[in-house]
Amino acid sequence: MTGRTARPPRADARANEDKLLAAAAAAFARDGAGATLKQIAKDAGVGIGTLYRRFPSREQLVDATYRYETARLATRPAPLLAELPADRALRTWMSEVLDYLATKHGMADTLGALLRDDANLGSQTRRQLTDAVEEFRAAGTAGGLIREGIPSPDILTALAGVTLAAGADHQREQAERLLDLLMDGLTRTTGWRAG
pLDDT in tens, 127-150: 999 999 999 999 999 999 999 999
Reported pTM: 0.85
What's the CA gap between 121 and 115, in Å, rounded? 6
3 inside domain: no
Residue 43 and residue 81 in one domain: no
Residue 124 and residue 185 in one domain: yes
Residue 167 and residue 184 in one domain: yes
Q: Does the pLDDT of residue 112 top 90, yes or no?
A: no
- Over residues 53-69, the mean pLDDT reads 94
4 inside domain: no
What pLDDT is attached to residue 115?
Answer: 86
Within 8 A by CB and 6+ apart from 170, the residues are none
User: Could you tell me the residue range of the domain that residue 185 belongs to?
Assistant: 57-195
Residue with the bigger pLDDT between 36 and 14: it is 36
Nearest to 64 by CA among 95, 19, 102, 31: 19
Q: What is the pLDDT of residues 160-189, one digit of tens each?
A: 999 889 888 889 999 999 999 999 999 966
